[in-house]
Amino acid sequence: MYRSTLDPVGKLEFSFDPLRALHAREDSELRWPEFPYKQVLIDRVRTKASSKGDCTITVEAAAGALLMALGQETGALFEIAQHRPREGDEVDGDGGSRHSASGLGFLERRFTDEREAFYAAKRAHLLEQKQQVQSKLDSIEVRKREEQEREARDAWRQRQIVKRFADGSKYDGDGMRVNDVLVPHGYGTLWVPQKKQFMAEAIGDIKRVPRYIGSWMDGFMHGEGTYYWDNGDSWTGHFIRDEMEGKGAYMLNHFGRGGAGDETGRDDAEALTQPVRYYSASQHVCWAHELVRGCRIIVLSHRHYGHPLETVIKRGNADQEAETEFVLVSYDAARDAHLVRKCGTEDSKWLALHSVNFRVLPGKPVGRLESDAFQ
């Protein structure tokens, strides 16, 4: 609701309702669509006022008179009569556009001042309404987000399981129930009983250390995760059904227990200089620094496991078929791929070794070894 600050009695007020725009037509002379009084009333005031004098009453003057009279026709005629030009007032040719400060120009200025004040108040009103709407939308968004977070927490709590095994190990994390059996599925941690190890979780007389932290699927370590050996060393990479597969980061135990390189015999200094390590079916393939130009590899086809619901998968059941040998040519760090060339040919292609099953072949001499070369 607009309340005029120019009205001395403070009774002039009307709404900002855009549906009641009485002067929204293109041929309207007021250039104020929200003016509260109809055009027929303005025309009637102009006709009656012009018949009582020699000058023509402008639309703005009649509208200003109606504003001062709060829309009353007789009051508007009275205001016009009070502000008619008298002797000494300057008028133009048609007697209606140029007036003295005490003439009809006062009514015109009242109209223009009221119009400017209305538009200023309208802008402030629209800004306030926009802020209110935005505040309501923000509150709705906050409630919606809180509800989503609550549902996510409830769903997370429902997924959480604790599964204990006969050997003393324990799983806690996401899981599901299949035929009344708790199955790890999602993200969780497998704890194993150890003594005097780093990062130990003491429960009664049992101390547990993490064996695996990461993703699980149908009871298998499957996806991204971290595997910990007994000496505290760890490997972070991709797992496929309980098997380390592909490229990963090999980290030493920073708590000072054990050496680097569990079954490969690598010393600490060598492992620290190249922590990237490749695995296939949990078997060491190579370190990243060994994949140099001229290195020969053999790529194997994907292994075919048994039924996914089988609880035990043996490596002997994995069908592997050897492919053609390749020679490494170069490495592109941006795409994390090696340019390889088929042995005995000029055919080359880019190969991402972290996503294939390969083996590094031992080096061989590039030429014939003559017996007299050693004499």
**Residue 47's closest CA among 33, 34, 37, 62?**
62
* Shared domain check, 194 and 81: no
* Shared domain check, 296 and 272: no
- pLDDT, one tens digit per residue, over 182-199 is 999 999 999 998 765 455
**Residue 68's closest CA among 54, 82, 53, 89?**
82
Domain for residue 135, yes or no? no
- pLDDT, one tens digit per residue, over 260-280 is 444 444 445 444 544 899 998
**Residue 360's closest CA among 336, 345, 374, 340?**
340
Domain for residue 144, yes or no? no
* Shared domain check, 123 and 6: yes
Structure tokens at 45: 């005031």
* Shared domain check, 215 and 197: yes
* Shared domain check, 266 and 172: yes
Domain for residue 132, yes or no? no
* Shared domain check, 21 and 122: yes
Q: Of 127, 144, 174, which closes a domain?
A: 127
Domain for residue 157, yes or no? no
| CA gap 110, 80 in Å, rounded | 12
**Residue 225's closest CA among 187, 274, 277?**
187
pLDDT of the residue at 141? 95
| CA gap 287, 276 in Å, rounded | 6
Q: What is the CATH number of the domain that holds 356?
A: 2.30.30
Q: CB–CB of 123/16 below 8 Å?
A: no
Query: Which residues of the chain are under the pLDDT cut of 70?
Result: 16-22, 24, 26-27, 53-54, 85-102, 195-205, 254-274, 301-322, 364-375
* Shared domain check, 281 and 312: no
* Shared domain check, 243 and 197: yes
Domain for residue 139, yes or no? no
* Shared domain check, 280 and 296: no
pLDDT of the residue at 204? 54
* Shared domain check, 226 and 255: yes
| CA gap 256, 276 in Å, rounded | 20
Domain for residue 138, yes or no? no
* Shared domain check, 6 and 123: yes
Q: What is the CATH number of the domain that holds 236?
A: 2.20.110
Q: Which residue segment(s) compose the domain that 213 sits in?
A: 165-285
pTM (two decimals): 0.55
Three-state SS for 46-79 is HHHHHHCCCCCCCHHHHHHHHHHCCCCHHHHHHH
Q: How many domains does the chain have?
A: 3
Cα dihedral value 302, 305, 307, 309, nearest 10: -110
- pLDDT, one tens digit per residue, over 277-329 is 999 888 898 988 888 888 888 888 655 444 444 434 444 444 555 577 888 98
DSSP-based helix, strand, coil % in the chain, nearest 5: 30, 30, 40
